[in-house]
Each structure stands twice: as structure tokens, then as C-alpha cells.
A and B are shown apart, each in its own frame.
Chain A
């Protein structure tokens, strides 16, 4: 249960990072926040799958 934060952080880092790269590449600023939110959601899903049963 105490490893939950590392999942949320990892989700944010991976998909936020991808969004940030996309933003840099396409010269936009929308993908970074989308990526961060998506990452937290997926991290939350990973946590649910692992500990939520």
C-alpha cells in the first residue's frame, strides 16, 4: 500500500514527459497537462489493479 505514490509519480512522469516532448516537437502547450492527467489516471488504474481487489 505504501508503494502507491511511486505508481502515481511514475504515471505523471511518463505521460507528462511524453506530452512535454510532443509539445516541444509540435510547438504547442496542450499535451503536457493532458499527459500529466492521463498519467495520474493510468497510475491510479495500475494501483487499483494491484491493490484494489
Chain B
């Protein structure tokens, strides 16, 4: 497939296919097939998050300056917008997990528009899936621990304050939604946003490159200009989406953990 597309002489514009964009990485070390660009970027961003937090908080000062100032701002954002609304007085205990999730996912996403990297790690579903499954395991464990094995499912499926026949109809929905679909949408929301965003950026930059550099014609040039402009606009939009998705991922994690610690009220 890949060899064919490279060898075939091309005269017409062809949009980049998902297979080319997401599935055709050569292993960085020959022979080690799993070690490709997304894996390298995932590891690198984990290291960057560790390094940034280390630089910021290894020797914390009372009056923050430089890196500590910036990272503290991020910490406050996660605490006030993500942790406290859902966890209340337990917020501080869970900040370690939530701040790691937020910064890691944010960095994974932002790699999608950083030149040379230009690949949002989360657009391979395995990466968000692992995070979502971990949160799911934590959620079920905490729920069973804090509300009891039967109590957890009872609180989930039969929240108080409803007429009896409605329970019969709603209990299966609650169960399916909380136990199966919630972790699924948790991972897929992040994955799909990053996947689609990367496709869009790749498509429009391909349009610009093709019509302005590969096959420059009087009629094609305006199309290429539109492609370049759209690439610039969408890069800004993508930055916003990347931040929003990192925020949402951490927020949903906080919501699930909060729901497991305390039954619905």
C-alpha cells in the first residue's frame, strides 16, 4: 500500500489517507517494530512533564518566580476548575493524579501542532484508552471500597427520589452508561478530536503544498492560498481544541472519582 503510493506517478491532487497519516511509521530502531514516532513522542512528553514539574517544584519558593510561577498557575487551574468542583474536600488528595493527567494529555495534544513533532499522540486510540481504563479501574475500586459492593451498584442504578416504575426503565440505562459507555466515551472523545484535527491540518497543508509548490498553475494558485490560510486558522483552532480536550479528560476523570467516593446526592 505504502510502496505503491510512493511509486505511482501522480498528476492529480490526492488527499492524505488515514493509513498514511496514522499507520505508516517506520520503526526508529530497525527491528524493534513497536518503537515508532507516536511511542517516542509519548515517552518524550512524559519526560518533559516530569522535568517541568521537577524544575518548578524541586525547590519551591514562597514567592514563585520563573518556571514555578507558570506551573503553579496550571496547578491552580486544575485545582480550582477540575478538582474542587467534583471532589470537594478530597480535592488535594487527588491533585497528584489529576495534574499528571492534565499536563500529560495537554502535552500529547499540543505535539500535534509543534513543528517537527506534528503528531497528536492521542490520535492513536491505544494511548487515551490506557488512561481511560486506568481511571475506570480506580473508579470501580473506590466505589466498591467507599460504598460497599452492593451499595455501589444500588446507588448507581437506583438513585433516590423517583417513582418505582421509572426505576425499572432507568436502571439498565444507568448501569450501561456508567459501567460500559462512560469509559468508552472518555477515551473516544479525546481520540476522535485529535484524529479529526490532525486529518484536517494534514489535508489543508497538503492542499497548500500541492497547489503552490508541486503543481503551480494560474488556476490552482488561489486554491493553494486558501489551503495555506485554512491551515493557519485551523492551527489556532486546533490549539484551542487540544487544550479543551486535555481539560475535559482530566475533568471527567475527576468527575468519575468524585462519583465513586460519594453517591449521587
Q: Do A and B bind each other?
A: yes
Task: Tell me which residues from 144 to 193 in chain B have a Cβ below 8 Å from any Cβ of chain A.
Answer: 159, 162, 166, 169-170, 172-174, 176-178, 180-182, 184-185, 189
Flag if A6 contacts B248 (CB, 8 Å). Answer: no
- Take A6-B177, A13-B181, A14-B176 as given contacts and tell me if A46 and B170 are in contact as well, using a CB distance cutoff of 8 Å: yes
Question: Chain A nearest CB: distance from B171 CB in Å?
Answer: 10
B-side contacts of A13, CB under 8 Å = 176, 181
Place the interface of chain A in its size category.
Answer: 10 to 19
Q: Chain A interface mostly helix, strand, loop or mixed?
A: helix
From B172, B177, B185, B252, residue with most partner A Cβ within 10 Å: B177
Does B241 touch A at the CB level, under 8 Å? no
In the bound assembly, the distance between CA atoms of A37 and B105 in angstroms comes to: 36
Identity of the chain A residue whose Cβ is nearest the Cβ of B170 in the assembled complex:
A46
Flag if B252 contacts A2 (CB, 8 Å). Answer: yes
Identity of the chain B residue whose Cβ is nearest the Cβ of A41 in the assembled complex:
B169
- Take A14-B172, A42-B169, A49-B162 as given contacts and tell me if A9 and B177 are in contact as well, using a CB distance cutoff of 8 Å: yes
A-side contacts of B159, CB under 8 Å = 49-50
Flag if B252 contacts A46 (CB, 8 Å). Answer: no
In the bound assembly, the distance between CA atoms of A46 and B189 in angstroms comes to: 21
In the bound assembly, the distance between CA atoms of A3 and B264 in angstroms comes to: 14
Q: How many residues of B contact A (CB 8 A)?
A: 22
Question: Chain A nearest CB: distance from B259 CB in Å?
Answer: 9
B-side contacts of A39, CB under 8 Å = 173
In the bound assembly, the distance between CA atoms of A50 and B255 in angstroms comes to: 13
Flag if A10 contacts B251 (CB, 8 Å). Answer: no
A-side contacts of B173, CB under 8 Å = 7, 10-11, 14, 39, 42-43, 46
Task: Tell me which residues from 9 to 27 in chain A have a Cβ below 8 Å from any Cβ of chain B.
Answer: 9-11, 13-14
A-side contacts of B182, CB under 8 Å = 3, 6
Q: A3-B185, A10-B177 provided; 10 other pairs, C-beta below 8 A?
A: A2-B255, A3-B182, A6-B181, A9-B177, A10-B173, A10-B181, A13-B176, A14-B172, A46-B177, A50-B159
Q: Supply 23 A–B pairs (Cβ within 8 Å), ascending by A.
A: A2-B189, A2-B248, A2-B252, A3-B252, A3-B255, A5-B185, A6-B182, A6-B184, A6-B185, A7-B173, A7-B177, A10-B172, A10-B173, A10-B180, A10-B181, A11-B173, A11-B177, A14-B172, A39-B173, A42-B169, A45-B166, A46-B174, A46-B177
